[in-house]
Amino acid sequence: MKTLELTIVIVYAVAMLAIGFYFRSRASKTASSFWSAESNVGVLVNAFALLATVMSGGGMMGNIGLGATLGLAYIACANLGSGAGLGMGALLVARPLRKSGAKTISEFIKMRFPNKAIALLVPIVIAIAYTVYLVAQMKASGTVGQYLLGVDFNLALIITWAIFTVYVMIGGMLAVTWTDFLQGMLMMLVTVVTSVAALMHFGGFDAMINMATEYYPQMGQLHLPLLSYAGFFFVWVFIGLCSPHILMRVSTAKNPFGAAVSLHGGMILITIFTVCTIFILSTASRCVIGVDVPDNKDAAFLYLIEVIFNPFWKGLTAAAIFAAIMSTAAGLLIAAAAAISNDIIVGIFKPDMEEKKQARLGSLMVFVVSFIVLLFSFNPPEYITVLYTQAMNFLVCSLMIPLLAGLWWRRATDSGALAALIAGGGSYAILFFGMELPTFSEMFISLPIALVARLWAAC
Amino acid sequence: MSDEKTMPEVRTNGLIKMRTSDLIALIVFFVISIIAFFPSVRNTMYKNVSLNSWILVILTFCVPIYNIIAAYLSLGKKTESVGE
């Protein structure tokens, strides 16, 4: 066990819990306080919170591992897509969503298309996609604990789970937003400083990319099937459009202009973060691991940290990675719990439930969802980034056409939205489980199917 | 006055009208990002990295810059109409 590194991580964890307890009484007042942070969050806080929410354990660690072992062009597609997707979200979704008065995407779709089947299916899609996404985050926590802190994989996983579950349960969206803000700042600090240190260590970008290309000649090339790269990019662009855990941030802003500025600020931060992680840290990690790829590919960044940093910076890096994991996990957890609690239990079965009881129910759902995630996390996947991108691919194929049609097409009908939802999500599931297609290319078939189903049902 | 619309109103009149400039920006974004995957572009290397990645970086920086300019200009228009 590494004492200094562990101490820094413990200090960080205590600070996050303290924030959760600080917001306890305000969060439990009403359902609005619990889910939307009283719609009173400033632009700077929201922008850093967005960075922390979008850039998960995958963004901080998994992407660097993927870039170092499969080439930086591959992961550039995903990360740059997510930055651009937020911009598309600002143009196409944020303004009209805010003006509609809906707090979440499922709430908007439910209000726009008052149909019981849609009201039930949308939260189910969200809950499935986010459970898978959360499992990927949990693997990152176990890996950091194992490699940087010398703690057992499963123990690190359980401790991380307990911390973010407690602060989300008691502090709701207020705690999530403020912890995300601090976590976003920590992630940005560590990424920028580590990038500068890596550039100095290897003698600049040119020397670094030349060395990495010697070890791995396809480092900067697009050498996998083209649809995998294009799919990876466009999945993340579309995730920016219809991802509730990102767009729930919009409902915490003070006004529509503040919501739009938060998105732009978050995008600029994400792009800077992305350029550092993909172009500098992936390349530097490949320089450290050399020709042979390690068994745990997601740990490539941790090898770099081991080689070029002292224990204090290793501890801070571990805290930053935990920050990335917890901030995204918290955002996902609150969105998944909102889907079940707000949209299914209260929305369909108990519409007259008191506000205070709704907040308590939300808190209980946070625990239930996170416990299910923990059970699935003990048997992790090979690449976390691939796993959670597939989960979001499913979400995009199911929700994008109904959402955009609902926002922009005044003649959009309930039956059209339902047909698009079933055709998009169903065809994705069939293609993913039943056919051997290039990774992430399912979307290029499922989205047109959803669109055709939507148009056919509207006729 | 709130600019929030009720859902029945949304269903009959649409939620919000998309600006022409936004529509053009969307088309430009998708056209450039698709061109970035063309063989001649993706196989061209600059500093040992595919031109595709460099184009996507520039494109991703351009999106928020466009949004900030558009938001600023629309804020100016609103202020003018209030002044009148």
Q: What is the model's pLDDT at position B2?
A: 40
Quick one: pLDDT band at residue B3, thresholds 50, 70, 90? very low
Min Cα distance B54 → chain A (Å) is: 9
Mean pLDDT for the stretch of residues A18-43: 67
Q: Do B49 and A271 touch (CB under 8 A)?
A: no
In contact, A270 and A50? CB cutoff 8 Å:
yes
Chain B CB contacts of A76 under 8 Å are 52-53, 56-57
The pLDDT assigned to A267 comes to 80
* Res A103: pLDDT: 64
In this prediction, residue A27 has a pLDDT band, given cuts at 50, 70 and 90, of low
Q: What is the pLDDT of residues A148-185, one digit of tens each?
A: 777 888 888 888 888 878 777 777 777 777 777 887 88
A213 touches B50 (CB < 8 A)? no
pLDDT tens for residues B23-33? 888 889 889 98
Contact A222 B63 (CB under 8 A): no
Contact list, B67 vs chain A (CB under 8 Å): 87, 90-91, 260, 263-264, 267
Window from A52-56, B35-39, B45-49 with minimum mean pLDDT: A52-56
In the block, residue with structure tokens 């980034």: A385
Minimum-distance CB partner of A112 among B10, B67, B75: B10
| Residue B84 pLDDT | 39
When pLDDT is averaged across residues A431-440 and rounded to a whole number, the result is: 83
Find how far residue A19's CA is from the centre of its chain. 21
Q: Measured between CB atoms, does A420 come within 8 Å of chain B? A: no
Please report which helix (H) or strand (E) contains residue A384, including its range: helix A384-408
Check residue A88 and give its pLDDT: 76
Stretch A290-297: mean pLDDT: 74
Give the per-residue SS3 of A389-441.
HHHHHHHHHHHHHHHHHHHHCCCCCHHHHHHHHHHHHHHHHHHHHHCCCCCCC
Over range A295-312, report the average pLDDT: 80
Share of chain A above pLDDT 90, in %: 10
Contact between residue A17 and residue A167 where contact means Cβ atoms under 8 Å apart: yes
Return d(Cα A397, Cα A392) in angstroms, integer: 9
* Residue A102 DSSP symbol: -
Rounded Cα distance, A52 and A180, in Å: 6
Identify the weakest region by mean pLDDT among A135-139, A249-253, A446-450: A249-253
CA distance A274 to A228: 19
Which residues, 6+ apart, have CB-to-CB distance to A236 below 8 Å?
Answer: A77, A78, A79, A80, A81, A82, A84, A85, A389, A392
Partner residue facing B47 (CB), from A81, A95, A206: A206
Which SS3 state, helix, strand or coil, does residue B46 take?
strand
Domain segments of chain A as ranges: 3-386
Mean pLDDT for the stretch of residues B36-40: 90
Residues on chain B touching A83 (C-beta within 8 angstroms): 60, 63
Per-residue pLDDT for A426 more than 80? yes
**Residue corresponding to tokens 């973010």:** A164
Q: What is the per-residue pLDDT across A310-366, written as a single tens digit (0 to 9) for each? A: 888 888 888 888 777 777 777 777 778 877 887 788 877 777 777 777 777 877 888
Mean pLDDT of chain A: 80
- Give CA–CA dist A271/A267, Å, rounded: 6
Q: What percent of chain A has pLDDT over 70?
A: 88
How much is the pLDDT for B1?
35
Q: Which two tokens stand for residue B39?
A: 């063989």
What is the pLDDT, as a whole number, of residue A31? Answer: 63
**Tokens standing for residue B30:** 């998708």
Does residue A133 contact residue A369 with C-beta atoms inside 8 Å?
no
pLDDT band at A428 (very low <50, low <70, confident <90, very high): very high
**Of the candidates A378, A316, A296, which has an alpha carbon nearest to the alpha carbon of residue A66?**
A296
Closest residue on chain A to B14 (Cα)? A410
Contact A100 B4 (CB under 8 A): yes
pLDDT of A425 higher than 50: yes
More confident residue, A436 or A196: A196
How far is the C-alpha of A457 from the C-alpha of A115, rounded, in Å?
14
| Contacts of B57 by beta carbon, 8 Å cutoff, 6+ apart | A76, A80, A271, A275
Ranking A64-68, A436-440, B36-40 by mean pLDDT, the lowest is A436-440
Alpha-carbon span A250 to A254, nearest angstrom: 9
| Min distance B7 CA to chain A CA atoms (Å) | 6
Residue with the two structure tokens 């690190």: A156
pLDDT of A31-70, one tens digit each?
A: 666 665 555 667 777 788 777 777 776 667 778 888 888 8
Among A315, A402, A414, A449, CA closest to A106: A402
Is B71's pLDDT higher than 60?
yes
A79 has pLDDT over 70: yes
Pick from B3, B6, B15, B19 the residue to mutate for testing the A interface (most A CBs within 10 Å). Answer: B15
Looking at beta carbons, which residues of chain B come within 8 Å of A407? Answer: 15-16
- Model pLDDT, residue B82: 43
Bridge partners, B50 (sequence order): B45
Cross-chain Cβ contact B26/A219 below 8 Å: no
- Other Cβ atoms closer than 10 A to A178: 21
pLDDT over 50 at A271, yes or no: yes
Assigned token pair, A392: 């979001």
A73 CB neighbours in chain B (<8 A) are: 49-50, 52-53
Record: fold of A3-386:
Sodium/glucose cotransporter (1.20.1730)
pLDDT above 90 for A140: no
Q: How far apart are CA A111 and CA A424, in angstroms?
A: 21
Give the angle A206-A209-A210 at the CA atoms, nearest 5°: 80
- The percent of chain B in helix, strand and coil, each rounded to the nearest 5, is 70, 5, 25
* Measured CA distances, A430 to A129, A195, A425, A427, A442 (Å): 16, 42, 9, 5, 9
Of the pLDDT bands very low, low, confident and very high (cuts 50, 70, 90), residue A450 is very high
Average pLDDT of the residues in A299-308 = 83
3-state secondary structure of B50: strand
Question: Which of A111, A222, A447 to mutate to test binding with chain B, by most B CBs within 10 Å of its CB?
Answer: A222
**Helices A205-215/A153-202 angle, 10° precision:** 120
Taking the CB of residue B72, how many other CB atoms lie within 10 A of it?
10
**pLDDT, position B10:** 53
Higher pLDDT, A74 or A168: A74
Residue A403 and residue A108 in contact, taking contact as beta carbons nearer than 8 Å: yes
Q: Residue B4's pLDDT is what?
A: 45
Which residue of B37, B50, B59 is in closest CB contact with A220?
Answer: B50
- Section A189-208 average pLDDT: 90
- A188, A341, A357, A377, B81 from A128: Cα distances, Å: 30, 14, 25, 14, 47
For chain B, say whether A231 makes contact (Cβ under 8 Å): no
Which residues in B have their CB inside 8 Å of a CB on A?
3-5, 7, 10-16, 18, 22, 25-26, 29, 33-34, 37, 42-43, 45, 47-50, 52-53, 56-57, 59-61, 63-64, 66-68, 71, 75
* pLDDT at residue B54 in the model: 92
pLDDT above 50: residue A208? yes
Cβ distance A220 to B49 less than 8 Å, yes or no, reads yes
> Would you place residue A378 in the very low, low, confident or very high pLDDT band (cuts 50, 70, 90)?
confident
The DSSP output letter for A37 is G
